[in-house]
Amino acid sequence: MSGPFTAAAFAIVLGGGLGLGLWCLLSLSPRWSAPGLADRVAPYVRDVADPRGITPFGRPPGGGMLSWRTAAEALAARMGRAVGGSEVIARRLAQAGDARGVESFRGRQLWWTVAGLALGAIAVIALALAGRMSPALVVVPPVAALAGAALCDLRLQARARARASRLQDQLPAVLEFLSLCLAAGEGLRDALRRVAGVSSGELTDELRTVVLDVGTGSSLAEALRELDERAQLPALSRAIDQLVGAMERGAPLARVLQSQAHDAREDSRRSLIERAGRAEIAMLVPLVFLILPLSVLFAVYPGVVLLRLGLG
């Protein structure tokens, strides 16, 4: 217990506790610099900047000389500039239906990285205090930090895939509903408003956004294109392209939507068959690697025991 690794572990624990305490004390201390221009002007434009009156004035945002939020935002911005790929992250956030921006995701990813680093460091310190420290364990904290960042990205990808699957399942019914409304004599804008008002689901929420964009001045074609950019779904992209083209050429929209609903239904059926095939293959894994070896073991082991007893 008196080795150099144990002493280093005690030093990290004590030094980390001292640093954390000093940081908390400094974060509670008042700012030494003068308030910024926005803080000085904010009380006079409160009816415009904060009509609900939920921002407490008289104290600068962040509350202290050192702010956890300010430091986290700065580190997240540097992390985003170093890692890059903001366009890909923005597209995945749009596919997942997350209204928060890339900076917010980078902040969450930073916290996941810090949490992984802290867990790895705690594991190394615990092993050092137990007397089982080795030089190879030094790589555990950075590996845990990278694993935390990767898990945050994988979680976003899983959310985007799950939402895309839900959109794919809801698309045929929504297109058929729209075609029925158009066949009944309603216009496309009124049909979208009706479907958005009486239905529920991920795709219906997107249609509500389209109706809101049209109501605030955007054209219907632009709102549909923005929906296509957010969803990034091939079946929906084909339907929107056909719908916008029919609007420009003056073709009957009901027939176009009926054909697109039929195609979306076929795509949904093929996707369901593919998922069933993958699930069937996944079900074979526990059967082949768990149940079958146990069955063979239960069948063979008594015979082996009897043979040993007979030979003895």
Banded pLDDT at 159 (limits 50, 70, 90): very high
Lowest mean per-residue pLDDT among 58-62, 169-173, 177-181: 58-62
Domain boundaries, the chain: 4-30+64-160, 164-269
Is a pLDDT exceeding 80 seen at residue 193? yes
Ranges 31-35, 137-141, 200-204, 210-214: which has the least confidence: 31-35
In the DSSP assignment, the letter for residue 36 is -
* pLDDT surpasses 70 at 237: yes
Lowest mean pLDDT among 12-21, 95-104, 156-165, 231-240: 12-21
Q: Are 171 and 233 in contact (CB under 8 A)?
A: yes
Residues above pLDDT 90, as percent of the chain: 6
Task: Indicate whether 191 pLDDT > 80.
Answer: yes
For range 278-302, the mean pLDDT: 86
Residue-wise pLDDT tens digits, 53-89: 545 444 444 444 445 555 555 655 665 555 556 788 8
The domain made up of 164-269 has a fold known as Receptor-associated Protein (1.20.81)
Per-position b or e across 68-83, b if 16+ CB within 10 A of its CB: eeeebbebbeebbeee
Using CA atoms, how far residue 290 sits from 279, 283, 296, 301, 303, in Å, is: 17, 11, 10, 16, 21
Q: How far is the C-alpha of 61 from the C-alpha of 70, rounded, in Å?
A: 10
pTM over 0.75: no
* CB contact at 8 A, 140 and 225: no
